[in-house]
Amino acid sequence: MAKHTGSGDLFQTVDQVTEEAINIGYRWEQKLHRWRQARAEQRGDLPTMLAFDGYGSTRHVRVLGRVLLKTRQLIAATDDSTEFIRGWRSFTSIPLAFAHVNVWLGDHEFHLMADKGGVIDADLQVSMEPGVYTVYMQTDGSEVTEARVTIVSENQSVGVVSDVDDTVMVTALPRPMLAAWNSFVLNEHARTPTPGMAVLMERLRNHHPKAPFLYLSTGAWNVAPTLCRFLSRNAYPAGTLLLTDWGPTTDRWFRSGAQHKVQNLRRLAKNFPHVRWILIGDDGQHDPQIYSGFAQRHPESVAAIVIRNLSPTEAVLAAGARATEDRTVSIPEGTLWIEGNDGASISSQLHEAGLL
């Protein structure tokens, strides 16, 4: 007798097949990474420690870094003094999974372990006075590298969180070919700053000199050095990069960029209950929904939501067919919502609101 399967069983079977495929993809990606790391170690690639700017309160500090394996030629080619650096070089370095990292901050020493992508992202329970400090990092066989850590005063009431793609940098993501060109071919000299946004950010820095600045992006950690150079070259205020990792997880083909942003905003609300954030993004992707959702959950943590409106051409490039979708959002009463196409129009509205 033939066995008949109902629609519910069919959907369950499809879900199981999809989950199994994702798990296979995740295991394959991990196996490939282990093979690449073993090959790099066999040919004598050198451990390289990258330290990124961090931030903290008077009770804890978030330190960020990444451990890579690089050939001697790649180390020379990607030295900070090199003028022209192609984006693809950022993706040829191999993360050193689970590397042991020594961290020195003030009189404190910590021993941490990188994750499977070579990333160090740790909250250190340490008491420090407000100010700017130097954090030093080193892994076995690498030189000591350093970065800045900004400790935010408990009297500080305003902070700035900004998206990167199509907010401070014109990228037209996620148009596949252009995204690949921007990421893998172009160097930071060829990337285009968003009109007026650097001036806006610098005015915010001058008006709130002690405010923490964070650049929250769905970009991969691979592009962190290039992005740092871009921000510096285009006179954006120095700040902490909060990036993510690409590739499959145990339950998804690709990591969720929206979830990455939501989690980091939630972390900020928890660690800085006294700070109200100016949230800056664009309407090409999900920033309005992410920021409005955060405002609904944590209205006391939002000073303003600032959305850069993409031009019709930019909107099509950034969102494709989704550009015509209804993207209305709901925000709590009293939340300041500002929109504009460039930094100048946004700046005047922030000035009128007393935030600039």
CA atoms within 13 A on the CB side of 120: 30
Task: Give the confidence band of 24 by pLDDT, cuts at 50, 70, 90.
Answer: low
Where in the chain are the domains? 1-44, 46-151, 158-352
Task: Give the confidence band of 19 by pLDDT, cuts at 50, 70, 90.
Answer: low
Integer angstrom CA distances of residue 91 from 51, 149, 248, 269 = 17, 26, 16, 33
Higher pLDDT pick, 33 / 342: 342
pLDDT score of 329: 80
Contacts 24+ apart (CB under 8 A), 230-233: 230/169, 230/188, 230/191, 230/193, 231/168, 233/188, 233/189
Give burial (CB, 10 Å; 0-12/13-18/19+) of 86. Answer: middle
pLDDT score of 227: 87
- Over residues 31-55, the pLDDT tens digits come to 777 777 778 777 878 899 999 999 9
Give me 282's structure tokens. Answer: 């664009």
Closest C-alpha to 217, from 185, 190, 245: 245
pLDDT score of 270: 95
| Measured distance CA(337)–CA(165) in Å, rounded | 20
Give me 268's structure tokens. Answer: 């900020």
Single-letter residue type at 73: Q
Domain 158-352 in the same topology as domain 46-151: no
Tell me the average pLDDT across 53-72.
92
Q: Tell whether the model's pLDDT for residue 17 goes beyond 60.
A: no
Which CATH architecture describes the domain 158-352? 3-Layer(aba) Sandwich (3.40)
Task: Give the confidence band of 72 by pLDDT, cuts at 50, 70, 90.
Answer: low
Measured in residues, the chain has a length of 356
Give me 260's structure tokens. Answer: 């990455």
Per the prediction, the chain carries an average pLDDT of: 82
Task: Give the confidence band of 25 by pLDDT, cuts at 50, 70, 90.
Answer: low
| Measured distance CA(123)–CA(341) in Å, rounded | 36
| Measured distance CA(25)–CA(44) in Å, rounded | 29
pLDDT score of 144: 97
Task: Give the confidence band of 11 by pLDDT, cuts at 50, 70, 90.
Answer: very low
pLDDT score of 2: 38
| Measured distance CA(131)–CA(156) in Å, rounded | 12
Question: Global pTM?
Answer: 0.83
- Over residues 298-323, the pLDDT tens digits come to 999 999 999 999 877 666 656 554 44
pLDDT score of 231: 93
Classify domain 46-151 by CATH number. 2.60.40.10
Give me 10's structure tokens. Answer: 């069919």
- Over residues 84-138, the pLDDT tens digits come to 455 555 556 789 999 999 999 999 999 999 998 899 999 999 999 999 999 999 9
Per DSSP, the three-state class of 318 is helix
What percent of the chain is predicted at pLDDT more than 70? Answer: 73
